[in-house]
Amino acid sequence: MKATLQDIATRLGTLNLPVAYDHFITAKEPPFVCYRITSQQIAGADDKNLYKNSVCAIELYTNTKDIANEQSIETLFNDVELSVYMDYISEENLFLTEYTFKFTEIL
């Protein structure tokens, strides 16, 4: 997928949920979404960087299993291969659904 971090933020903004890069400054009531870049490789040729390959993680936090919001995220990103990880965070009484995918930014 060719995209920028702003493109990803714009897509997530259509969810009608609180969205933040990495974390919120103040606590939010679930459901909410955090996203972040987990790794990057910047490469090119002829002594010039031409593109940035990144891995993005999108984390959906909810009080209960939230199939509707999960499906919304999957629909927004149906043009990329998504890996999905699910967990229950007992200390916070929250369900976590994490999506990861790769994207390329042309520099």
Q: pLDDT tens for residues 16-54?
A: 999 999 999 999 999 999 999 999 999 887 788 888 999
pTM comes to 0.92
Rg of the chain, C-alpha, whole Å: 15
How many Cα atoms occupy the beta-carbon half-sphere of 59 within 13 Å?
A: 18
CA dist list (Å): 28 to 2, 34, 63, 91: 31, 11, 12, 16
Closest CA to 82 of 54, 52, 60, 57: 57
